Amino acid sequence: MDWLEELPAGFSGWCTWQATTDAQIEVFCCRGHSPGPLALITAGVHGDEYEGPAALFSLPPFLPPDRLKGTVVAAPTANPAAFAAGTRLHPEDGLNLARTFPGNARGSSTERLAAAIFESLVTRADYLVDLHSGGVEYVFLPVVGFYGLPNCDNPSFRAARAFGLPALWQLPPTDGVLSCEAWKRGKIAIGAEYRGAGQLSGDGVRDYRNGILACLSHWALLAPTSEKTGAVDVFEGDWMLAAASGIFTAHCRLGDAVRKGVTLAAIMGNRGEVQQQIASPCDGVVLGLRSKAYIRAANWAVLVGKSMETNG
Ligand SMILES: [Zn+2]
């Protein structure tokens, strides 16, 4: 037995969870009067992203326990040290929590944090929504990501559609990513991205909150609502990386439709010379862009999404 199992039916409130010896996480928990599945909503896995945390701060009034079947656990600042430092990476060991799951209980600060979140929360969850944004250094078109094929018999794809953003992204199955590791273990998992550049988008807070509530209805933790049935664009693709360090100059804007081979960005060296030109690998849409002007080799540069055919 532990704090999560001991939550009484009808509980709604914030708990301070001592996840590891050096990480306390504020967690909002709501357990319905009726039993049901467990939905875990995480944000702040990267400490410089704000739409997800703010959406979860605003969630409690929308979750009355008498209307909930099952349990919702929301962790708005899943990486508290990085959140306090305002950084993507953990300030002590420099690791990326979003590449560290399922973690190691005897490892560094980030590895122990990942292990605690995975063992205590993820393994018990039926559903996972992991909210991100571009953070300080990147900016994303609002997209909700799914794993597997864009087919109506894929529950991750169906959940992403239910979330209600106009663009869907087939997430690359990257080891160590929270939603990917959950999906590999049979959880129904999605991950979302919304703007970034170190700012807080009010639209992002609203759309993320509405997306969570729509998924909770879709998963029958809340009463059903009419799901959005409008057309969605479904994309595949992954980030192109910088091969050089210097000033990143974008020649495209977020959301632009681009043709294969067109120059999307350049990286200038210390004499202003072009160190690298980044060309579009396909016809597609600019889903993500470097926002911080200085870029280092191996940083993400541009993400072009290529349209996918969907079945349903
Ligand atoms: Zn992130």
| pLDDT over 80 (residue 227) | no
Sign of CA dihedral 80, 101, 149, 126: negative
Q: Output the CA 98–ligand 1 centroid distance in Å.
A: 7
212 & 276 share domain: no
DSSP 222: S
| pLDDT over 80 (residue 202) | yes
75 & 89 share domain: yes
Q: Output the CA 214–ligand 1 centroid distance in Å.
A: 22
45 & 121 share domain: yes
Q: Output the CA 39–ligand 1 centroid distance in Å.
A: 20
73 & 168 share domain: yes
Q: For all residues of the chain together, what is the average pLDDT?
A: 96
Reported as a pLDDT band with limits 50, 70 and 90, residue 157 is very high
225 & 248 share domain: no
Q: Output the CA 85–ligand 1 centroid distance in Å.
A: 15
Find the CATH number of the domain harbouring 285. 2.40.50.100
pLDDT, tens only, 33-80:
999 999 999 999 999 999 999 999 999 999 999 999 999 999 999 999
Return the beta strands (E) in the chain as ranges: 12-20, 23-31, 34-43, 69-75, 127-131, 138-146, 167-170, 188-196, 233-236, 239-241, 246-250, 257-258, 263-268, 274-279, 284-290, 294-295, 300-307
Q: Output the CA 223–ligand 1 centroid distance in Å.
A: 30
Q: Output the CA 132–ligand 1 centroid distance in Å.
A: 4
Rounded mean pLDDT of 136-144? 97
| pLDDT over 90 (residue 116) | yes
Q: Output the CA 6–ligand 1 centroid distance in Å.
A: 31
Residue 291 located in a structural domain: yes
The pLDDT of residue 312: 60
Find the CATH number of the domain harbouring 172. 3.40.630.10
Tell me how far apart the alpha carbons of residues 308 and 128 are, in angstroms, rounded to a whole number: 24
The DSSP-derived string for 39-107 is: EEEEE-SSTT--HHHHHHHT-GGG--GGG-EEEEEEETTSSHHHHHHT-SS-TTT---GGGTTT--TTS
CB 191 within 8 A of CB 218: no
CB 79 within 8 A of CB 156: no
Residue 312 located in a structural domain: no
User: Strand pairing of 127-131 and 188-196?
Assistant: parallel
171 & 302 share domain: no
The pLDDT of residue 86: 96
Residue of 156, 157, 161, 164 lying closest to 206 (CA atoms): 164
Query: Which domain-ending residue is among 189, 208, 233?
Result: 233
The pLDDT of residue 201: 96
> Helices 155-163 and 202-218 sit at what angle, rounded to 10 degrees?
130
Q: Output the CA 18–ligand 1 centroid distance in Å.
A: 23
Query: Which domain-ending residue is among 199, 233, 267?
Result: 233
Q: Output the CA 272–ligand 1 centroid distance in Å.
A: 31
251 & 226 share domain: no
Tell me how far apart the alpha carbons of residues 180 and 118 are, in angstroms, rounded to a whole number: 12
The pLDDT of residue 231: 77
The pLDDT of residue 5: 87
Supply angle C-alpha 306, 249, 165, rounded to 5: 35
Supply angle C-alpha 235, 238, 241, rounded to 5: 150
The pLDDT of residue 230: 72
**Which range of residues forms the domain containing residue 289?**
239-307
Supply angle C-alpha 54, 37, 179, rounded to 5: 55
Q: Output the CA 9–ligand 1 centroid distance in Å.
A: 33
Q: In the beta sheet, which residues pair with residue 227?
A: none
pLDDT > 90: percent of the chain: 94
Tell me how far apart the alpha carbons of residues 178 and 180 are, in angstroms, rounded to a whole number: 6
185 & 265 share domain: no
Rounded mean pLDDT of 196-204? 95
The pTM (predicted TM-score) of the whole model is 0.96
Reported as a pLDDT band with limits 50, 70 and 90, residue 81 is very high
CA dihedral 59, 65, 71, 73 (to 10 degrees): 30
The pLDDT of residue 30: 98
Q: Output the CA 52–ligand 1 centroid distance in Å.
A: 10
Q: Output the CA 286–ligand 1 centroid distance in Å.
A: 18
Query: Structural domain tally of the chain?
Result: 2
Q: Output the CA 48–ligand 1 centroid distance in Å.
A: 8
User: Strand pairing of 257-258 and 294-295?
Assistant: unpaired
Tell me how far apart the alpha carbons of residues 210 and 62 are, in angstroms, rounded to a whole number: 10
65 & 166 share domain: yes
Rounded mean pLDDT of 84-91? 97
DSSP 126: S
15 & 148 share domain: yes
> What residues have their beta carbon closer than 5 A to ion ligand 1?
46, 132
In degrees and rounded to multiples of 5, residue 49 shows phi and psi of -120, 135
Residue 151 located in a structural domain: yes
44 & 187 share domain: yes
| pLDDT over 90 (residue 249) | yes
Q: Output the CA 45–ligand 1 centroid distance in Å.
A: 6
Q: Output the CA 221–ligand 1 centroid distance in Å.
A: 26
User: Strand pairing of 34-43 and 284-290?
Assistant: unpaired
Q: Output the CA 281–ligand 1 centroid distance in Å.
A: 24
Query: Which domain-ending residue is among 218, 233, 248?
Result: 233
| pLDDT over 60 (residue 1) | no
Tell me how far apart the alpha carbons of residues 237 and 270 are, in angstroms, rounded to a whole number: 31
86 & 184 share domain: yes
Sign of CA dihedral 132, 134, 140, 146: negative
Residue 244 located in a structural domain: yes
